[in-house]
Amino acid sequence: MGGMRVLTTGGAGYIGSHTVLALIEAGHEPVILDNFSNSSPEAIRRVGELAGREIEFIKGDLLDVELVERVFAEGNFDAVIHFAGLKAVGESTAQPLRYYRTNIVSTLNLLDAMDTHGVRTLVFSSSATVYGTSGATRCVEDLPLGTTNPYGATKLHIEQILDDLAASDPTWHIAKLRYFNPVGAHESGRIGEDPRDIPNNLMPYVSQVAVGRREKLSVYGGDYPTADGTGVRDFIHVVDLAAGHVAALEALPRHPGARAWNLGTGEGNSVLEVVRAFERASGKDIPFDIVERRPGDVAELVADPGRARIELNWKAERGLEDVARDGWRWQSNNPFGYAEPGE
Ligand code: WQD
C-alpha cells in the first residue's frame, strides 16, 4: 500500500491527533483541517515532534463552503478521514439545531467537494451510540440502529446519507467506524484528551480527580444489573483506535460501498474497575460517591469486534491497565492539557 495523501478533518482533536501520528508512521501523508473549536494547534505541534516532521494543516471550518472547495481544488487528496464535529451528548439535547447544522451540513459540504474532485474514499467517525436503543449489551454491526440523543441522531443520519451516496455511485468506498469508549493516550505522554469544560465522560473526569483538578467522582448509578452494580463499557485505547483507522483506510479499496465496522476491544469493564485501575496507575486515591443513574445511560454496551478482526485484520492490543498507565502519564505531565499553566 503506497502512501496516501489523506485530508483529516478534526485532525487536531483527541482521536484525530493520534490517528494523524499513526498515518505518518504507516507511510501516509495526512493534512489536517480543523477550526480549533475543541482542539489546540499545540496538539499538531506535538504530533510533529513525535513524528519527526512538520504536519501540514489548514485552520478552517467545513461550514465555509468556499474554503472547502478551495482545499480540495489545491489539495490533491487520495482519501479523507472525517472526525470534525460536535460530540457532547448532553449538550446536543440542549442545542439540537446547532448539532444538526454543524455535524450534518458540514458533512454534506465535505461530500460535495469530495465528489466534485473525484475523491471517493472516506473513513467516517461514527459511534456505538447508534446502538443505543437496540437493547443489546454485545453489539454486532447489523443490529437494528437507534439512538436516544441528537448527537447520536446526527451520526445515524450521516450513516444513512453515506449508505444512499454509495448506493447511487459504486465508485465510493466508505468505512463507518463505530467507536465504543475511546480512552488513554499515546505512551509518550505528549498528546492526549483535553476536554474544554467539565468532562462529560468517565475517564477524563477520573483523570482530573487523580491530578487534583476535581474533588471527587460521581458514579452514576450503583444498582445496574452488572457484577458490581455500576455501568459496563468497552474502553478502547486511543492508540488501538487510531490503528483501526489506518487499517480501515488501507482495506477500503477491497470494500466498495458503505460498510460499518465496530472498533472496540470486545471486553467490558465497570466504572468501579476503571476507578481501581486508575488508582493503581496513579498511586492516588480517587474519592467517589455513588449517585442517581444518568438519564439515557444503558447498563452495558460492549463491542463484538469480529468483523474488523476478519475484514480489516485489526484488533485492539491494549487493556485497561495500559489505558490507566498511559492516561495517567498524559494527565500528570499535562495537568491542564495543552493550555500553558495559568492560561
Ligand atoms: C461511561 C460510564 C456512565 C461519567 C459516551 C457517548 C458515546 C461516546 C463515548 C462519542 C457510564 C459512567 C460517566 C461520570 C460516571 N462519545 N460515568 N460518572 O456514556 O458510555 O458514551 O461517550 O461518540 O457516544 O454516549 O461514556 O464516559 O460518559 O460513561 O459514573 O462522571 O461511566 O454512567 O456508565 P458513554 P461515558
Q: What digits encode the pLDDT tens for the residues 215-235? A: 999 999 999 999 999 999 999
Residue 117 in grid coordinates: 474532485
* Residue nearest ligand 1's atom 11 by CA: 231
* Residue nearest ligand 1's atom 32 by CA: 202
Indicate yes or no: pTM above 0.95.
yes
- The Cα-based distances of 45 to 4, 93, 95 in angstroms read 21, 34, 32
Beta-sheet strands, E only, within the chain: 5-9, 29-34, 56-59, 79-82, 121-127, 138-139, 173-179, 181-183, 217-220, 232-233, 235-237, 257-263, 269-270, 288-291, 300-303
Q: Which residues does the annotation mark as catalytic?
A: 151
Name residues whose C-beta falls within 8 Å of residue 197's C-beta, 6 or more positions apart in sequence. Answer: none
User: Is residue 107 in contact with ligand 1, taking CB distance under 6 Å?
Assistant: no
User: Is residue 154 in contact with ligand 1, taking CB distance under 6 Å?
Assistant: no
Ligand 1 centroid to 31 CA: how many Å? Answer: 30
User: Is residue 336 in contact with ligand 1, taking CB distance under 6 Å?
Assistant: no
CA distance 60 to 269: 38
| Phi, psi angle pair for 283, to nearest 5° | 70, 15
Name residues whose C-beta falls within 8 Å of residue 308's C-beta, 6 or more positions apart in sequence. Answer: 244, 247, 248, 261, 262, 263, 314, 315
- Residues for the chain: how many in total? 343
What is the reported pLDDT for 236?
98
pLDDT in tens, the chain (343 residues): 679 999 999 999 999 999 999 999 999 999 999 999 999 999 999 999 999 999 999 999 999 999 999 999 999 999 999 999 999 998 999 999 999 999 999 999 999 999 999 999 999 999 999 999 999 999 999 999 999 999 999 999 999 999 999 999 999 999 999 999 999 999 999 999 999 889 999 999 999 999 999 999 999 999 999 999 999 999 999 999 999 999 999 999 999 999 999 999 999 999 999 999 999 999 999 999 999 999 989 999 999 999 999 999 999 999 999 999 999 999 999 999 999 766 6
Closest atom, ligand 1, to C-alpha of 182 = 9
Tell whether the torsion through CA atoms of 41, 197, 7 and 108 is positive or negative. negative
CA distance 268 to 264: 10
- The Cα-based distances of 35 to 10, 83, 160, 324 in angstroms read 8, 12, 26, 30
Closest atom, ligand 1, to C-alpha of 294 = 33
What is the reported pLDDT for 340?
76
pLDDT tens per residue across span 25-82: 999 999 999 999 999 999 999 999 999 999 999 999 999 999 999 999 999 999 999 9
User: Is residue 129 in contact with ligand 1, taking CB distance under 6 Å?
Assistant: yes
User: Is residue 271 in contact with ligand 1, taking CB distance under 6 Å?
Assistant: yes
Is residue 301 exposed (0-12), middle (13-18) or buried (19+ Cβ within 10 Å)? buried
Residue 7 in grid coordinates: 485530508
